[in-house]
């Protein structure tokens, strides 16, 4: 066997080994660079055993949302930066979807997840005709009656209330609010109420029409 043939004989195994090494390196990189869930940010109870848990991302700015049944994680979804906070969740749900309030590129968005398995259903921007939003540090963010979510979106000098059908993901109505800080809010039967500067306003959950029973407290 000549030296030339011996060199060619080694060439094939070398190419194979280089390919194996490259594939192993790519697999290793994917494993080590995969986002990892960190500390618990908030826990929202669904019933006596199930809960939705929001977790921070280790060494990142995004978040994870988990559906847990007791200690068992039924599914885990990776979402853009979460807009809620402990005591003021940015999550609503029914047996079809989980809506998650997020802030991306300075804008408020809804990121929707299938309740059954955590797969992404879609998403859309809130208050697209307004300016950049601020991360709310007071008052509620997402209210829900598990038929619709009622999203409070805030920016400098403005607030907006947007109702979203959880079954279809469609926006049903919106109401522009004044720029005062939103102090509190809730769902009371067929009405959604918002309190700003001590004044409470009430809106029909079905169509957003304001009742005449606004009051000061």
Question: Over the stretch 174-186, which tens digit does the pLDDT of each residue have?
Answer: 999 999 999 999 9
- Average model confidence (pLDDT) for the chain? 86
Model confidence pTM above 0.85:
no
Distance of CA 141 to the CA centre of its chain: 12
CATH class of residue range 83-216: mainly beta
Q: What angle do CA 84, 87, 89 make, to 5 degrees?
A: 35
Distance CA 140, CA 91 (A): 11
First to last CA, the chain: 99
Question: What is the model's pLDDT at position 29?
Answer: 47
Task: Give the closest residue to 81 by CA, choosing from 109, 56, 64, 62.
Answer: 62
The DSSP-derived string for 108-159 is EEEEEEETTT--EEEEEESSTTS--B----SS-SEEE-SSEEEEEEEETTEE
Evaluate if residue 67 carries a pLDDT over 60: yes
DSSP 217: -
Among 86-95, 172-181, 205-214, which is the least confidently predicted range?
Answer: 205-214
DSSP 183: E
Evaluate if residue 23 carries a pLDDT over 90: no
Task: Give the closest residue to 115 by CA, choosing from 173, 66, 62, 63.
Answer: 66
Give Cβ neighbours of residue 134 (< 8 Å, ≥ 6 apart): 154, 155, 156
Q: Are 200 and 164 in contact (CB under 8 A)?
A: no
Domain-by-domain residue ranges, the chain?
Answer: 1-33, 83-216
């Amino acid at each position: 066997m000549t030296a030339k043939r011996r060199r060619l004989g080694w060439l094939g195994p070398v190419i194979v080994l280089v390919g194996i090494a490259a594939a192993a390196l790519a697999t290793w990189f994917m494993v080590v660079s995969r986002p990892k869930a960190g500390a618990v940010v908030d826990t929202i109870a669904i019933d006596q055993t199930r809960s939705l848990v929001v977790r921070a991302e280790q060494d990142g700015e995004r978040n994870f949302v988990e559906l847990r049944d007791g200690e068992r994680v039924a599914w885990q979804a990776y979402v853009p930066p979460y807009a809620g906070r402990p005591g003021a969740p940015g999550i609503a749900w029914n047996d079809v979807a989980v809506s998650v309030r997020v802030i991306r590129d300075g804008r408020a968005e809804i990121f929707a997840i299938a309740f059954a398995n955590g797969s992404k259903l879609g998403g859309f921007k809130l208050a697209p005709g307004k300016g950049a939003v601020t991360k709310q540090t007071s008052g509620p963010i997402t209210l829900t009656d598990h038929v619709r979510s009622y999203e409070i979106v805030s920016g400098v000098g403005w607030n907006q209330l947007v109702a979203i059908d959880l079954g279809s993901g469609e926006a049903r109505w919106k109401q522009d609010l004044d720029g005062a800080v939103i102090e509190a809010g809730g769902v009371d039967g067929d009405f959604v109420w918002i309190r700003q500067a001590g004044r409470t306003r009430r809106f029909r959950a079905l169509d957003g029409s304001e009742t005449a029973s606004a009051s000061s407290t």
